[in-house]
Structure 1
Amino acid sequence: MPAYVLVDAEVHDPEVAARYRVLAEESIARYGGRYLIQGTVPEVIEGDWPAGRVVTTLEFPDLDRVREWHASPEYTRAAALRQGAIDVRMLFAEGRAA
């Protein structure tokens, strides 16, 4: 069953964010993930969304693969790089079988 990573992020340092993005993209692909939405400012139609925050959605084959990716040395390096440069809220969610 597919699993998803939902990310809400606020970028404080675009240069560091660009370096983070390269490392994160490589790690995501290595663990079977793909971007569905990448760093997009959403159109808010209900409720509030803080200005300057972007949304990213990733899809992986299953929740075990998401956890493997998130704990991987490759992603751990990327996450360490972003500290202080990007504030992130990240959620894992299991999809439904079609």
Structure 2
Amino acid sequence: MSVYIIAQLKFTRRELYDRYQSRFMGVFSKFKGKLLVADAHPVVLEGEWPRDKVVIMEFPDDAAAKEFQNSPEYQQISVDRKAGADAVVLTVRGLP
């Protein structure tokens, strides 16, 4: 069953986030994921959304998502993401 990582970001230090973003695909491409969405201009249809960007990644299963998230390569670049953006990050399961 597919697993998705959804990140909702509010930039706090854009230059650090941009450095993270410039290295992201080089790391991400080594794993079994697929980048589905990376939208810095989402349209809010209902409610309030005090964020700047949405990212959605798809993985074949929970183990693949964890492998990416916990990898030394991702942990190294994620320091800049954490310093450059306030994030809410979720893992959700797809439908069977």
TM-score (norm 2): 0.87
Structure 1 position 27, deviation (Å): 2.2
Structure 1 position 23, deviation (Å): 2.5
Counterparts of 2:52 and 2:16 in 1: how far apart (Å)? 16
Alignment correspondent of 1:15: 15
* Structure 2 gaps, min length 5: none
Q: How does 1:5-84 map to 2 (within 5 A)?
A: 5-50=5-50, 52-84=51-83
Q: How does 1:77-96 map to 2 (within 5 A)?
A: 77-96=76-95
Q: How many residues align?
A: 96
Equivalent position SS for 1:44: coil
Q: Is 1:3–1:59's contact at 8 Å kept on the other side of the alignment?
A: yes
Query: RMSD of aligned C-alpha atoms?
Result: 1.5
Q: Which runs of 4+ in 1 moved over 6 A?
A: none
Q: Is 1:3–1:93's contact at 8 Å kept on the other side of the alignment?
A: yes
* Structure 1 gaps, min length 5: none
Counterparts of 1:73 and 1:39 in 2: how far apart (Å)? 26
